[in-house]
Amino acid sequence: MDKLRAEILSLPDKDRAELALQLMASLDGAPESDAEQAWDAEILRRVAEIDAGTAKLIDRAEFSRRLRERIGRA
């Protein structure tokens, strides 16, 4: 495992990112048959809220703060 980790960490950023995405996807299992439609509907709903002015938006700094807080790096 250590040898594999060292080899992976020596890859260029782009290749490591692609590998990371593939590994994460392999842990998720098969997607639900209606998942793509559900995400499309959710995206359209959120865009509509933004367009209507009913969405509560936050700036990048606040988003980063909340994300760090959630993952325990406040």
pLDDT of residue 4: 95
- For 34-65, b where at least 16 C-beta lie within 10 A, e where not — what string? eeeeeeeeeeeeeeeeeeeeeeeeeeeeeeee
Q: How far is the C-alpha of 29 from the C-alpha of 26, rounded, in Å?
A: 6
pTM above 0.85, yes or no: no
pLDDT tens digit string along 31-70?
788 888 999 999 999 999 999 999 999 999 999 999 999 9
Res. 8: pLDDT tops 60? yes
Res. 74: pLDDT tops 60? no
Measured between its terminal Cα atoms, the distance across the chain in Å is 31
In three-state secondary structure terms, 72 is coil
Q: How far is the C-alpha of 73 from the C-alpha of 66, rounded, in Å?
A: 10
